[in-house]
Chain A
Amino acid sequence: MKLTLELPRHARANVWLDDAPRATYAATSYLGRTLAPIRTIEPARRLAAIELFVPHGPSLSYALLGAELVMAESTDLEVSVSVSKEGPPLISPLTGKLDRVSIGLPKEFAQAVLDGAARTAQELGAPTQRKLLYRWAAHGFVSSSPTVFENASAMVLRFLTLTENDLEAQICRILSS
């Protein structure tokens, strides 16, 4: 399932639930951390992703990030971020012609992805006894930053726990928070 959303402040987003964007890549390395969430939230789905476009005036923020949740023996939440070199161009990114978007996640954003997951786990809670694998990504040559990847990561983890009730409203609340 893919939702396309027009957001306040000229922003827009694509959200995938139980589905993945066409932005797979081969990892050259991994960055990982084990999180102990403030409380356990049962996962409602296995896959989630977001493509985010947020204008700031002279610049804009762009990120595409997706993750898969799989069972693990750990009692906590193990997070793994796939790092890559710059890949091929992403087809039809939300930036349009405003930036050049490539598939993959450069190392400079990997820590921010971990930080975003940690933020959600600490502030709201997250699934436990699971591995969270961030393995879909795309980034803009000009418009990507640690901030936008941290926010995207925090949102993806929240999407994985969304129930089916009033799904679009829940997503909009997350995107505007």
Chain B
Amino acid sequence: MYTIVQIPFGWANCPGTHCSWLKEAGALAQGPLTVAGGAFQTAGAAAEQGIQITEEGLAAVIDHLAQFGEWPANQAMIDRLSAQLGEVVTGADANFYTHELMEANFMGSGMTYDEAHTLAIQIEGVSPFSLYHPEVIEQCPECFNANWRAYWGIDQ
């Protein structure tokens, strides 16, 4: 299980230029997550092992998303995370949550949206299609194309 140590800025004791945001809860004493080639090896880790939704983290996500304006799929994902506050989430819920925390951190440190979004996806090591839960894709069909439904195996 992963947990957010500090949000959204000033994440402590991580070696990456931009990536000092996430530590394996059970491995704090052993140092930060593995670094290889300058990038954290966190590919899908939060999605697979789970991450706890904290009040602080969720507030940071909501605050970050507000700058982009309304998007029904974002609200649907926020509703899902709010309903799971304090719980450990996996899969698309975890991907969305960690992606937005990273993106907020990177943009807060001066990156453009394009840079922050790209770097967050690279660090997560997940498909862009995995950032929204399939139930949200079904709930907001006008926000997604057929490739999203194909990725999740949703009948078209």
Contacts and interface: CB of A to CB of B under 8 A. Distances in A.
Contact of B113 (A55, A146, A147, A150): A55
A7 to B, nearest CB: 11
Contact of B100 (A57, A96, A142): A57
A58 B147 contact: no
Interface SS, A side: loop
Contact of A57 (B103, B141, B142, B143): B103
Contacts of A58: 74, 77, 96, 99-100, 103, 128, 131-132
Contacts, number: 71
Interface in A136-177: 139, 141-142, 144-147, 150
Residue in A10, A59, A109 with the greatest tally of chain B CB atoms within 10 Å: A59
Contacts of B67: 9-10
Interface string B16-48: 000000000000000000000000000000000
B53 interface: no
Contact of A9 (B68, B96, B131): B68
Nearest to B65: A57
Contacts of A96: 114
A108 interface: yes
Contact of B68 (A10, A106, A108, A141): A10
B108 to A, nearest CB: 14
Interface in A21-71: 55-60
Interface in A116-153: 139, 141-142, 144-147, 150
B71 interface: yes
Residue in B69, B103, B144, B145 with the greatest tally of chain A CB atoms within 10 Å: B145
A90 B131 CA distance: 25
Contacts of B131: 58-59
Interface of A: 9-10, 55-60, 96-98, 106, 108-109, 112, 139, 141-142, 144-147, 150
21 contacts: A9-B68, A10-B67, A10-B68, A10-B112, A10-B113, A55-B113, A55-B117, A58-B99, A58-B100, A58-B103, A96-B114, A98-B118, A106-B145, A109-B145, A141-B147, A142-B147, A145-B144, A145-B145, A146-B141, A146-B142, A147-B143
